[in-house]
Structure 1
Amino acid sequence: MAKDALELVLEDYIFNMFEDASKPSQIKDIKVESNQCVALIEVDVDQLIKRNSSKTINKTLTLPSWLNELGIKNKLNFSKILQDGIKKELGI
């Protein structure tokens, strides 16, 4: 099975796995003790799937030739460094 096809199957599975789940309770109907509270947690399933997807895309970037040569000489993983830098910039 191709990687993209597998991802589609998994996405369908994730969305369908809660089909038979109980309907969510109304917050006002949940009984709690005096030392307890109700917390509403929202999850963006689409974003969760995207962040955990291994699907990749190619991007073209421009580097000075001397920096490229030095990086290759030092066996740097340009892709990982770029990904780490973008994540750091985004605070994730």
Structure 2
Amino acid sequence: MKDNFIYPAIFSFVDDSIAIEFPDFENCVTQADNMDEVSRIAKDRLALEIYDYQEDDRKLPDPKSFKEYNAALQPSQSLAYIDVWMPYHRAQIKDVYVKKTLTIPNELNVLGQLNNINFSQLLQEALREKLNMH
């Protein structure tokens, strides 16, 4: 299965937001509030669309040429190519869990159990905070 995909996106600058459309896919649209989040939001939306196509065993569309899209752009629009690496996005979408074995001091184990601490949840929260994923 192919892992890397590149498709054109049309950015339309409307009022205080940026509309993002993937013209090779029917109704594949989203929006961003500012330029800082455009790339992430566009990648997430494209990855979700590709994931849906793959899950349904549908053939992905072939991207049209740059010239075809560029000629049709309005003054308030721009064209960009968005690439997604699907192994990362599949992991995000499926939320696959991996078993990890760890060793902690007995004192922490006893106190955690007495306080009904969910060790798995605590480790996830700590990792997300450490990785700035909150």
Root-mean-square deviation (Å): 2.7
The TM-score, its normalising length taken from structure 2, stands at 0.49
Q: Which has the larger radius of gyration?
A: 1
Hey, which of these two has a bigger chunk of helix by percent?
A: 1
Q: 1:73 aligns with which of 114, 117, 129?
A: 114
**C-alpha distance 28-85 of structure 1, shift in aligned 2 (>3 A):** farther
**C-alpha distance 60-82 of structure 1, shift in aligned 2 (>3 A):** same
Query: What do residues 43-64 of structure 1 show as CA deviations (whole Å, max 9, x unaligned)?
Result: 2222111123244332111211
**C-alpha distance 44-29 of structure 1, shift in aligned 2 (>3 A):** same
**Matched residues, percent identical?**
27
Where in structure 1 are there 5+ consecutive unaligned residues? 1-9
Hey, which of these two has a bigger chunk of strand by percent?
A: 2
Where in structure 2 are there 5+ consecutive unaligned residues? 1-50
**C-alpha distance 29-12 of structure 1, shift in aligned 2 (>3 A):** closer
User: How far apart in 2 are the matches of 1:73 and 1:37?
Assistant: 58
- How is 1:13-92 mapped onto 2 (pairs within 5 angstroms)? 13-14=54-55, 16-17=57-58, 19=59, 21-30=60-69, 31-92=72-133
User: How far apart in 2 are the matches of 1:32 and 1:11?
Assistant: 28
The TM-score, its normalising length taken from structure 1, stands at 0.67
- Count of aligned residue pairs for this structure pair: 81
